[in-house]
Structure 1
C-alpha cells in the first residue's frame, strides 16, 4: 500500500511539472497535412505560464482552412479569415529599417480562397497604437516595432494604425468576447505581439543570404531560386512580389489551430493571386544606395518657354491641400500630405493629350492602388492629370481622399478612391 501511495504521489508531481506538449494524436493529425512547423509548435514565450482559463477555452482546436466551417466557436476557430499572412517588406527608396534586415508590413487574415475582409469593426478602430502598447507595459515590443515595423513615408504610427484597423479587426479570435477577463484593447497588443513574434522567426535576409541571394546593384536572380530558398526555410511555398522588377515583398502563409494568441501556426501554401515577379532578372537592391534613373525607354517632353500667366499646373509650383474648406498643408516630394515644414516644388510636364504629368525631385508621380499618390524614380507609368476649375483632376475627379490628418512631422497618404478613406480633400496649384 505504501508503494502504491508513493507512486500516486510521484505521478501527481510529474503531471504538475510536465510541459504542455501536444498529444501524439494531435501530432499525427497535424503532420498528416504535410506542413513543417516545428519552430512554431510552442507559441508561449519563455517563462510564460498560460492561465487555466486559456487551457480550457478551446479544448479541441481545429485547423483553419483545413476543416470546413460548421458553426464552430469563432473564438477558437479563425473564420472567415482562416489563412494568416505574415508580410515583410524590402524598402529601398527611401531605405527603411536596417541595411541587413527586412521590415514588417503586417499580419493579414485572408479567406481560404485568397479574398479578404477589411475594416471589420469600426467600434475598435484606434488612432493611438503606441500609447496602447505603452500602457500595457510591453516596451520591448514597442522598441522592436520602432526598429522593424517601418512606414516608407516615415510615419510608422500611421502604418500601425492602418494595419490594426484594416486587418487586426478582422481576426475572429481577437474579438473582445473571446477573452475570459477582457481588458479593453488587450486584443490590440495581442495582434502586434504575435505579428512581431512570427516576423522574428522568419529572418528573410538571412534565409536568402544562406542561399547566395544577397542585395546587389549588379546581380539579378531567378524567381525559382528565391522561392526555393524561402520554401526550404518555411516548409511551404512562399509568395514574393516585385516593384518594377525589384524584389520588394514576401508573404509567409499559415493556417492556425486554435486562437491567434495561443494557437499552433502551421505553414501553408498561398492561395489567391500569384507572384508578379518575372521568371528571371529580378533585382534585389541594397538599401544603402543611390536611386536608379528613370527607365530610358520612357521619355516625357520638358516644358519650353515661360508658362502663361495665371495658368494652373504649368511650369513649376506647389501642390496645396484644401481640406474642410480651407488650406491645410501641402504635398511633399515623395507624395505624402504634410502640414508642417517646406512644401515641395513640382514640375508640370506637358502630355500628348492636353494633359500633364507631375514630377518632383524624387521622380515622376503616379497613383498606386496600395500606396496612394507616390513620386519616385521607380515610377515608370506616371499618371496623366488635367486641371478643372483650377484644381488637380484625374479624369473628371477633383476630390481625393486620405485616412487621417497628418500630425507634427508625420505624413498621410493620398488616395484616388474613397473606399475606407474617410477624409475628402482637393489639390490646387500655387506657382513657385
Structure 2
C-alpha cells in the first residue's frame, strides 16, 4: 500500500495537468461527427470543427499581367490564379479582420474591421514578409513554390496579397481560431506557436480547395479559350462552369459595360473544417455582374506575362 500511495502522489500532479490540458485543448475534430456548415447551425458542438461562418467561397482571378514582369513575376500558363478562400456567414453577409492580433496586411482594405467610418481601425502591418520565412522555417518549400506560381498579386509582391487574404479572411474562420478575445484556441498547447500553425493550415487549405476547381481546364475543354478577337456569351460560360463544378458560380466582370471577365467565385458548404477540403457546391448568393446582352471578353495574357 505504501508503494502504491507513493506512486499515486507522483502520478496525480501529472494526471491533473493532463486534465487541465484536455479542458482547454479539447478540439480533436476526428472525434466529432462532421456536419455540413450552414445546414444545421444548432448542432455545432465545437466551432473549431465546423466554421460558424460556413458559406465557403473558393475565389479565382483572370489577370492578363502582373505589372512586375521586370522582377520575374509571371502568371501561370493555362491556369487562373488564386484569389482566396473566404468565410461568408450563412445569410451571405461577412466579417473581415476578425483577429487584429494576427493582422499582417500592409495595405488593409477596408481600413476598419467593418468597413465603416466608426469601425475599429485596422493597424497597418509594417513588419514585411512573414509567410516566406515561415514556410522556409518549417521546410515547406513545395507549398511556397506553389504559392509563388499560382497565388499572384498585381502590382505588388505576392506575399502582400497572401498576408492580406489571411488577415482579412482566414481570421474570420472559427476553425483557425487561436484564442483571441476569448474564442477557443483550436491548436492548443501541443503546438509551440498557434499563430504559425493557423497560417500554414490556412495556406494549405486554400490550395486544397483551389485544385478542385480547374476553371481554365473546364472552359478550354468546351472551346472557351482566351482570345482578343472572339467574345463569348456569359450564359454559356456560366453553364459550363455550373455543370463542371456542380453549382452556379458568381462571375465578375469589369469595364464601363461589364464585359471584361476577371473573376469567379465558387460557393460551397464545408463538411467539418475547411481544412479537410470536403466541399459541397452551392449556388451563388451574389448575382453575376457581367453583361448579359453583349459579348464577354476573356482576354489573352499580355505577351511576356506568362511562364
Quote the offset at 1:78 in angstroms: 0.6
Partner deviation per Cα, 1:91-118 (whole Å, 9 max, x = no partner) = 1144751242110011111111221100
1:268 deviates by: 1.4
State the Cα deviation string for residues 273-327 of structure 1 (Å, max 9, x = none): 311101141000000359xxxxxxxxxxxxxxxxxxxxxxxxxxxxxxxxxxxxx
Q: Where do 1:98-117 residues align within 5 Å?
A: 98-117=76-95
Write the distance in 2 (CA, Å) between the matches of 1:257 and 1:136: 28
Shift of the 186–67 alpha-carbon distance from structure 1 to 2, 3 Å rule, reads same
Structure-1-length-normalised TM-score: 0.52
2:288 equivalent among 275, 294, 301: 275
Partner of 2:227: 216
1:55 aligns with 30
Answer 1 or 2: higher relative contact order, Cα 8 Å, separation at least 6: 2
Cα 1:119–1:53 shift into 2, 3 Å: closer
Q: Give 1:69 deviation, angstroms.
A: 3.6
Match of 2:97 in 1: 119
**Larger proportion of helix:** 2
Q: Aligned-pair RMSD on alpha carbons? A: 2.0
Deviates more, 1:133-142 or 1:180-189: 180-189
Higher strand share: 1
1:180-200: CA deviation from partner (whole Å, max 9, x where unpaired): 523421111011111112212
8 Å CA contact retained: 1:136, 1:189: no
Instruction: Please give the alpha-carbon distance, in whole angstroms, between the structure 2 residues aligned to 1:140 and 1:93.
Output: 24
Runs of 4+ in structure 1 off by over 3 angstroms are 69-72, 93-96
Alignment partner, residue 9 of structure 2? none
Partner in structure 1 of residue 123 of structure 2: none
Q: Partners of 2:239 and 2:44 in 1: how far apart? A: 38
Match of 1:170 in 2: 172
What TM-score does the superposition give when structure 2 sets the normalisation length? 0.72
Q: Which residue of 2 aligns with 1:48?
A: none
For residues 44 and 297 of structure 2, the distance between their equivalents in structure 1, rounded to whole angstroms, comes to 47
Pair 1:141–1:263, CA change in 2 (3 A): closer
Structure 1 residue 250 corresponds to structure 2 residue 264: yes
Match of 2:239 among 223, 228, 238: 228
Give ranges in structure 1 of 5+ residues lacking alignment: 1-51, 291-432
Larger radius of gyration: 1
Aligned-partner SS, 2:152:
coil
Structure 1: how far apart are the matches of 2:102 and 2:213? 29
Q: Following the alignment from structure 1 to structure 2, what is the Cα–Cα distance between the partners of residues 274 and 165?
A: 26
Once the 2 structures are TM-superposed, how far is the Cα of residue 137 of structure 1 from its aligned partner?
A: 1.8
- What residue in structure 2 maps to residue 72 of structure 1? 45
* 1:250 Cα offset (Å): 0.7
What is the distance in 2 between the residues matched to 1:194 and 1:219? 36
